[in-house]
Amino acid sequence: MKIGRGIESGGTAVWFASDDGSQFHTWDFESRKKGNPLDIKQILAPVQPTKIVAVGLNYRDHARELGLEVPLEPILFLKPSSSVIGPGDEICYPSQSTRLDYEAELAVVISRRCRNIKQEHAKDYILGYTCFNDVTARDLQIKDGQWTRAKSFDTFSPIGPWIVTDLEDPHNLAVSARLNSEVKQSSNTSNLIFNVYELISFISMIMTLEMGDVIATGTPSGIGPMEPGDSIQVEIEGIGVLQNKVS
């Protein structure tokens, strides 16, 4: 099932549930049940996380692309909730940067508050999966020698279009990015260095994860720049397409 947030015909933001992405019903987060039909006019970012925990260098093909050794432990950084936008929203090219990159990623959405979770129990804390674009001011990342500024501008965390709750296997999904319809990234989550359950366990041993928090699992090879006017699509098998324009 697909769940998310949208604007109904009356202009109110509501939670929705959908089996096929075309017909929508109300969704109750507490009972995890869908209800009455909804007329959704606009789909929003499917979550409002307290934090986004992102993972760097977590694809074998990306490590090879950069000529770097595979890390022994996950490399983590945080993105602020203020950077979140939804499908169809515009990515704003900041005046401080001269190179703005796309990074297609599988994102995991946490279902309930948790900490110190063992790998074998991690699945019990997953609400579902969605598409994520870890937009990065690459020149500032290099200039600063750390990632906070480069990853944290408003609009730098497109998420969506919805959360899929019933994916059978998150570790065998095609992941791609298309810039103006040209394929730039094409890989599979089977290339993850640290899998979803390892990441949840590792992160929860460091910080408490809240309901709705997002773990961005890393990007494969093929990262590259975007320019104002470009359209970027992140597609993940079994989830859908997240599309945004750069302004």
Same domain membership, residue 135 and residue 55: yes
Residue 13 has which token pair?
């933001």
Mean pLDDT of 13-30: 87
Sign of the CA dihedral running 69, 74, 79, 84? positive
Rounded CA-CA distance 247/103 in Å is 17
Same domain membership, residue 217 and residue 133: yes
Which DSSP state fits 208?
P
Same domain membership, residue 27 and residue 96: no
Rounded CA-CA distance 234/56 in Å is 18
- Contact yes or no for 199/216 (Cβ under 8 A): no
Rounded CA-CA distance 127/213 in Å is 10
Number of folded domains that form the chain: 2
Residue 141 has which token pair?
């990342």
Same domain membership, residue 221 and residue 155: yes
- Mean pLDDT is lowest, of 21-25, 133-137, 154-158, 172-176, for 21-25
Same domain membership, residue 213 and residue 132: yes
* pLDDT at residue 29 in the model: 74
CATH number of the domain enclosing 105: 3.90.850.10
Same domain membership, residue 72 and residue 11: no
Same domain membership, residue 90 and residue 3: no
Rounded CA-CA distance 200/114 in Å is 10
Same domain membership, residue 71 and residue 29: no
In what order do the strands lie in the sheet containing 224-226? 136-137, 100-102, 224-226
Same domain membership, residue 131 and residue 19: no
Domain span at residue 238 reads 45-246
Amino acid at 233: Q
Buried b (16+ CB within 10 A) or exposed e, 119-153: eeebeebbbbbbbbbbbbbbbbbeeeeebeebbbb
Same domain membership, residue 57 and residue 143: yes
Same domain membership, residue 21 and residue 86: no
Residue 206 has which token pair?
């460091």
Residue 198, H or E segment? helix 196-204
Same domain membership, residue 19 and residue 105: no
pLDDT tens, 174-200?
999 999 999 999 999 999 999 999 999
The residue among 36, 2, 46, 5 whose CA lies nearest residue 22 is 2
- Going by pLDDT thresholds of 50, 70 and 90, the confidence category of residue 63 is confident
The residue among 57, 52, 48, 70 whose CA lies nearest residue 4 is 48
- Going by pLDDT thresholds of 50, 70 and 90, the confidence category of residue 40 is very high
* pLDDT at residue 204 in the model: 98
pLDDT tens, 1-20?
999 999 998 888 999 999 88
